Structure 1
């Protein structure tokens, strides 16, 4: 039976190669993929990720080849991303503690959540959280996504997160302990050296945030705690870390390798790579 992968995308812009890279690997292996966004809105690629002449300011060079720009644009223009699933429709929203009947509301929430996550777990073998600047807006602190991540981890199903998508792993926490799922784990992600000083942008929003609102490296260092570690691998061309059930990828050039390693996890039981 072919593997089934749920691909999570931001509605505020994904980086083209960070979708196309893993997707090419999955397609070549005959995996079935489905896409999901926070509200079911069709995702769009960040314009710089479709431009082979765009110079990435921290790296001082182009990061998208002409071939990848062509493939990413073809994906973005295709009908494949039309009508994605909706996190808001598929998973319930946790009630406020100020709700008039909080205890009953919480019981109902947990009942509906169990049914929803159970259905998704039965449908998919793995999850991918695609990176880019968009996840900063609507994936990093998305409680519905956090609940889905918790469910996949509890079921022993792997999750690949790329670039700023890794933040969703750091913030996915048990409601009681509040400890990050990444505590004690080894991960990679966007290091401080790769962060923009200016020009962080999003699809559909005319707003220049300047630098990112948070340095992901610091969050990941704190989340992994004293027994885990963040690996920036600055100065190395690629950085992908596998610490089951997580596969984490630093940035754009790591996307194909990340997809290949997720396939190794699914097919050959890979549990550790990259440190």
Structure 2
């Protein structure tokens, strides 16, 4: 059976290359993929991620080649992203403690989670969370996304995330101890030097904001402590870190490399890469 990857995408805009890079890599490796979005809506690439003339303010240059822009537009025009899995109907929602009959509902929730974990174990080899501005809106603090991540972690299967998608890892926590699952791990993600400043536009599909509502680097530094580390590699062209089960990519230029490291983890047993400790 070919390996199968579950790819989580925002409904508020994914960055084109951050899906394209891993997807092309998985296709070349002979993997199959399933897409999932928070409510089953078709994901849409952020417009500027298909524009080779868009100048990224923090970097002062275009971050999208003409070839990448063409490929993302072709992907958007295809039917490949049609009919993604609806996360809201697939993954159970944890009940509020204030709800009537909370204990019975919690027991049912845990039974449903156990069934989900068995399904994931049978169907998938790895999880990937794609970056962009959209994940800030509907993935980072989505309890159902956290449940997926925690299930893959319990199954000891690879969990990859790119750019702002890495925030999902920082916020995924077991309710018993509330510690981030990346505590003691080494990760990368969107560094503070890459963040937009006040007065510059941070773009999604249907929104423009100033700076992102949270500095991802600071969140990751805090979430990995003690014993782990955030590694930004600012000034280096790429930044991908493998600290099993996590594979994290800093930003757009790291998309293909992130996909490659997922393949190396699955097919060649890679467990640590991109840092020394």
Matched, 1:254 2:243: no
Q: CA deviation at 1:76?
A: 1.2
- Contact in 2 for aligned 1:92/1:113 (Cα 8 Å): yes
- Contact in 1 for aligned 2:55/2:62 (Cα 8 Å): yes
Task: Name the SS of the counterpart of 1:11 in structure 2.
Answer: coil
Q: CA–CA distance in 2 between the matches of 1:225 and 1:124?
A: 30
* Aligned residue in 2 for 1:88: 88
Q: CA deviation at 1:208?
A: 2.5
* Aligned residue in 2 for 1:67: 67
- Contact in 2 for aligned 1:131/1:165 (Cα 8 Å): yes
* Aligned residue in 1 for 2:164: 164
Q: CA deviation at 1:191?
A: 0.4
- Contact in 2 for aligned 1:132/1:165 (Cα 8 Å): yes
* Aligned residue in 2 for 1:42: 42
Task: Name the SS of the counterpart of 1:13 in structure 2.
Answer: coil
Q: CA–CA distance in 1 between the matches of 2:118 and 2:47?
A: 36
Q: Which runs of 4+ in 1 moved over 6 A?
A: none
* Aligned residue in 1 for 2:214: 214
Task: Name the SS of the counterpart of 1:241 in structure 2.
Answer: strand
* Aligned residue in 2 for 1:113: 113
Q: CA deviation at 1:199?
A: 1.1
Q: CA–CA distance in 1 between the matches of 2:142 and 2:74?
A: 29
Q: CA deviation at 1:201?
A: 2.3
Scaled by the length of structure 2, what TM-score is found? 0.97
Task: Name the SS of the counterpart of 1:36 in structure 2.
Answer: strand
Q: CA deviation at 1:112?
A: 1.2
Q: Deviations over 1:166-207 (max 9, x none)?
A: 00000000101000000000000000000111212221x3x4
Q: CA–CA distance in 2 between the matches of 1:76 and 1:118?
A: 32
Q: CA–CA distance in 2 between the matches of 1:208 and 1:119?
A: 38
Matched, 1:135 2:118: no
- Contact in 2 for aligned 1:127/1:158 (Cα 8 Å): yes
Please say which of residues 35-44 and 110-119 is displaced more in the overlay.
Answer: 110-119
2:204 to 191, 202, 205: 202
| Correspondences of 1:232-271 after superposition (within 5 Å) | 232-271=232-271
* Aligned residue in 2 for 1:186: 186
Q: Deviations over 1:208-257 (max 9, x none)?
A: 32110000000000000020000000000000000000000000000001
Q: CA deviation at 1:118?
A: 1.8
Q: CA–CA distance in 1 between the matches of 2:53 and 2:203?
A: 18
Task: Name the SS of the counterpart of 1:33 in structure 2.
Answer: strand
Q: CA–CA distance in 1 between the matches of 2:47 and 2:5?
A: 26
* Aligned residue in 2 for 1:79: 79
Q: CA deviation at 1:117?
A: 2.7
* Aligned residue in 2 for 1:21: 21
- Contact in 2 for aligned 1:91/1:117 (Cα 8 Å): no
Q: CA deviation at 1:7?
A: 0.5
